[in-house]
Amino acid sequence: MAGRIQGDGGLEIRSVQPFDLAQPGDLTLAAGRKTLEKIEDCPASAVIVPPGISSPRKTLLQVEHPKLAFARLLEHLSRTSFVAKGVSPLAAIGDGCRISPEVSIYPFSFLGDGVSVGNRVTIFPGACVGDGCELGDEVVLHPNVVLYPGIRLGNRVVIHSGSVIGADGFGYVFDGERHIKIPQTGTVIIEDDVEIGANSCVDRGTFGATVIEKGVKLDNHVHIAHNCRVGSNTVMVAQVGVSGSVNIGRNCIFAGHSGVVDHVTIGDDVRVMMKTGISKDVPAKSSVSGQPAMDHREAMRIQAIIRRLPEIYEELKELKKRMKDEG
């Protein structure tokens, strides 16, 4: 990532801070209109900006993608080298586990039988890994994460506290008197570089696998039901719920509280707005909102009219009255 420095190239930076918190000695980011307008008022000594921005007093670092440059910088600065603490004597490890030498397995974590654990893996206290699970390299299971038996995690998968991977899918058949459970004999596959927030759930497949493809990011309280596929790099914000056997493309973005009924296919690059309820297939590259979901532009048009309904209704009454007077 190449950049151009405008100002004092020899400036010494104390720390990297967000725009609102930056102090003299800090490097910060101004990428949007709101912050760019306030560059002169910001106490930061240096600012990462898009090309074409100038300042009489600040040292500027002009780059093509300022937000990305800032993130890479932060990522670089916050990178801590992994320190292997080994396997705590207070952890419970099942029979036949294959555990790489460089790991940190904390007290009160539980590994069932036949678990395999890659290099530089961290398993925090209270995490429970069921029989036969396979964890790639550099996996992090935060405290109290639960993996049911037979789950596969790729490399660099991070799962935050309280999330549950591989609980039974929700499937029953009613025989007129009681719900008979459909046995949930499948599994969950979570590919490389997936991060899952706190208290989320990914259910195992009824048969086969529920698949979270590489680079997917799920926020807190997200629910993914049995046999879904979530395409690579798709992002879901908190409290999204996806019913069974939904096929979701790549690079989609689901806003908070949105939901999908079962057996629906959603294409690549779809944007789903807050609280949208999807009940049928959504083509690639579309944006949807509303309950039931529709094209977002159409929904906006309709919403604008809905806001004016009281006035429209008055007009209609007026028309009726005039018709009557005239008729």
Of 2-10, 48-56, 113-121, 142-150, the window that binds a second copy (rule: CB under 8 A) is: 142-150
Size of the residue set binding a second copy (CB under 8 A): 104
> Taking CB under 8 A as the rule, does residue 208 contact a second copy?
yes
Single out the residue of 47, 105, 201, 288 in contact with a second copy (rule: CB under 8 A).
Answer: 201
How many CB atoms neighbour CB 247 within 10 A? 17
Instruction: Kindly name the residue from 226, 257, 263, 296 that is annotated as catalytic.
Output: 226
The whole-angstrom separation of Cα 295 and Cα 289 is: 7
- Is 226 annotated in the active site? yes
Tokens found for residue 179: 């719900």
> Taking CB under 8 A as the rule, does residue 17 contact a second copy?
yes
Report how far apart, in Å, the C-alpha atoms of 59 and of each of 14, 43, 55, 166, 259 are.
14, 12, 8, 51, 46
> Taking CB under 8 A as the rule, does residue 284 contact a second copy?
no
Contact set for a second copy, span 63-122 (CB under 8 A)? 65, 67-68, 70-72, 74-75, 77-78, 88, 90, 92, 106-108, 110
Report how far apart, in Å, the C-alpha atoms of 63 and of each of 29, 274, 284, 299 are.
11, 32, 31, 37
Of 6-14, 41-49, 96-104, 201-209, the window that binds a second copy (rule: CB under 8 A) is: 201-209
The whole-angstrom separation of Cα 228 and Cα 261 is: 11
Q: What share of the chain is helix, strand, coil (3-state, %, to 5)?
A: 15, 30, 55
Of 2-10, 36-44, 55-63, 273-281, the window that binds a second copy (rule: CB under 8 A) is: 273-281
The site string for a second copy over 161-200 (x = CB under 8 A, - otherwise) reads: xxxx--xx-x-xxxx--xxxxxx-x-------x-x-xxxx
- Active-site residues, by number, are 226
